[in-house]
Homo-oligomer: A and B are copies of this chain.
Amino acid sequence: MTEATSPITFETDPSRYRHWRLAVEGDTARLTWDVQETGGLRPGYALKLNSYDLGVDIELNDAVERLRFEHPEVRAVVITSGKDRVFSAGANIHMLASSSHSFKVNFCKFTNETRLAIEDASAHSGQKYMAACNGIAAGGGYEIALACDQILLVDDGNSAVSLPEVPLLGVLPGTGGLTRVVDKRKVRRDHADIFCTLAEGVKGQRAVDWRLVDAVAPKSRFADLVKERLARLAAMTPGRPGPGVPLPPLNPEVTADRLRYSLVDVRLDRKGRTATITLSGPAGDPPPDAAAARREGAALWMLRLSREFSDALCRLRFNEEEIGLLILKTTGDPARVVAHDRAMAALSRDDWFAREVLLHLSRTLRRLDVTARSMFALVEPGSCFAGSLFELALSADRTYALDDPDRPAAVALTPLNFGALPMGHGPTRIQIRFLGDPERLAGLAGKVAAEGEARFDVPGALAAGLLTVAADAIDYEDEVRVAIEERASLSPDALTGMEASLRFPGAETADTKIFGRLSAWQNWIFQRPNAVGDHGALKCYGRPERPSFDWRRT
């Protein structure tokens, strides 16, 4: 499906890192990247100067996640380079130039999610990040720094921060750099314009004056500055009691048309271009208290499910490009999901681990929201679309339900639907659902607050506005089959644009600017001869030939 020879996998751990070193020292951690030139995920390019490919980012993503779960005591993390005079040259150009359109877009999507996870850890897990740029930070290298709370840059007359994509490559910085420069760091628009068109970037005091970095120091004082600032960052957050919760490998069973985890089962119909993803509800009762939850650790139902589902989504994005429709199913006892949701909502008020589990699920659901595939949820007998799992139905483009009085299916809302699992642009999925009917939303919120849940049979859920279509046993299968076939017949490009436009009504944030705006512009630019044609800027990079452009502007 992709040009990669074998499917891409997303699991790793620090003992297997090829490009990063993770060192925890008391309440701070040091993440050092020293990318192996010959360690690329695919052959054909060398990862020089700490340039990176997807494999490097998979390790970074793993480290950020492990720090949150396995090292709760860490309050500040510094990212620095193991190479002399270079922090990072950014995403590897030769890797990008030799990748398909879909791979490029999904590479950017995954790296964006990693950057947002760093910001999420800072905002919600009390783990602050600092980029200690001990050398040039170019393109994606600077974009990693932009995801950190603080950026320090060595002032050696040579080291600069830069976003050289526009002037050198004729594409955009693909990991939120433009948005973060003006929206997060509030660099003045005209300074941002100069900076983003200046191949060599900006260094020294001017980088501070333009708000591109927070401080600079000569090489002789750089280590001291880093140490002092890191201690100050750590002092800003309260810290969380250990011990941590280890994250063991997921080890799914992979066969030709199936991807099977303990709680997530993915069946592929490549001819029909669909994947049916079945998520299992909990098999037992929720942990009675925080200590019991900690003992369950990564085996805790909600965490295990979230990790497996996230992994499955990443594999589908990269390894199954032609799968256009995800059919989301659940199986289990809705009452048990309600019980787990209520327990996690209660525990998360005081316990960092419970909170961390909800944050993980929240990220996984956001990963689902920005996945460029159509999604139908199917509510059927034996399903458990309750609370946290009902978020799947709210995330889906449509929900179909079988209304069979002999085999009734139940749907439920829990406290988790009303705040703990927000979308990337801020509101909850149920707020978005009832944007046109805030009174109904208030009624449901009130009921759940008072009673801890709101249960519905299928006709009740339809009447409450929680389902799209309910059909009886005679019509259901045909109705769903026709809807799936119709969906699978439509232009995949138009669907991607349509879904991205319809899924995020209401407010906007940097999150949706990146996935809604930047990814759309980049989609276009990645397709244009001015970037990827034989004489395009991306193709000419590193060759003596200068790019030749079609000058027409839109």
Contact = CB atoms under 8 A, between A and B. Distances in A.
Interface in A441-473: 465, 468
A130 B222 CA distance: 65
Contacts of A551: 273, 321-322, 324, 492
A497 B172 contact: yes
A178 B491 contact: no
Interface string A392-432: 00001111000000000000000000000000000000001
Contacts of A109: 554
B494 A530 contact: yes
Nearest to A396: B190
B513 A554 contact: no
A381 interface: no
A133 B178 CA distance: 43
Contacts of A496: 521, 553-554
A193 interface: yes
Interface in A211-225: 211
Contacts of A497: 172, 518, 521-522, 524-525
Interface stretch (A120-128, A163-171, A232-240, A250-258): A163-171
A454 to B, nearest CB: 18
Nearest to A536: B491
Of A100, A373, A503, A550, chain B has the most CB atoms within 10 Å of the CB of A550
B492 A553 contact: yes
A262 interface: no
A372 to B, nearest CB: 5
A482 B554 CA distance: 24
A272 to B, nearest CB: 11
Interface string A172-190: 1000001101110111111
Given A193-B398, A397-B193, A492-B551, A500 B517 contact: yes
Contact of A530 (B182, B491, B517): B491
Contact of A492 (B193, B432, B552): B552
Given A183-B506, A211-B436, A492-B552, A501 B518 contact: yes
A324 B171 CA distance: 16
Contact of A494 (B100, B172, B397, B495): B172
B487 A189 contact: no
B321 A553 contact: yes
Contacts of A553: 102, 321-324, 372-373, 492, 495-496
A518 to B, nearest CB: 6
A48 interface: no
B491 A549 contact: yes
Interface in A64-107: 100-102, 105-106
Nearest to A103: B554
A192 B502 contact: yes
Interface in A480-513: 486-487, 490-503, 505-508, 512-513
A518 B170 CA distance: 22
A172 B501 CA distance: 10
20 contacts: A102-B552, A102-B554, A105-B554, A109-B554, A166-B490, A170-B493, A172-B497, A172-B498, A182-B435, A183-B505, A186-B505, A322-B552, A324-B553, A493-B528, A494-B537, A495-B553, A497-B521, A500-B521, A501-B513, A508-B513
Given A324-B551, A496-B554, 9 more contacts: A102-B553, A167-B486, A182-B505, A188-B435, A188-B436, A193-B468, A494-B525, A497-B518, A501-B521
